[in-house]
Amino acid sequence: MKVLLVNTFDQWGAANACLRLHLGLLANGVNSKVLLRTRNKNIAKTEVIHSTIKRNLKAHLFTNKIIRILKKIKYKLKLKKNEKQSKTFFKARWPFRL
């Protein structure tokens, strides 16, 4: 069986539990690896996400943020255009029926 444990860091609460589980699996002969974003400890079979992946992720998040801002601007421009076309938002009928 192959096990991949994914965690952000290799220290503090949940990370310590993850590493204890990893070391226990290795001690029992299970093929286990840990994928980390940031590594501070030197533990066997732990891999770090490369900085290029981090950079690509940041670029992707930045692009998505720009797209959301542009969509909001487009929506606001549509509202302003509609307000200029019709200055009244409703039409009242005369005579009113009760």
Q: pLDDT tens digits, residue range 64-90?
A: 888 888 888 888 887 776 665 555 555
Residue 39 CA to residue 30 CA, distance in Å, equals 22
What pLDDT, on a 0 to 100 scale, did the predictor assign at position 13? 87
Pairing of strands 31-36, 46-48: parallel
Q: Where is 35: in which H helix or E strand?
A: strand 31-36
Half-sphere exposure of 51 (CA within 13 A, CB side): 0
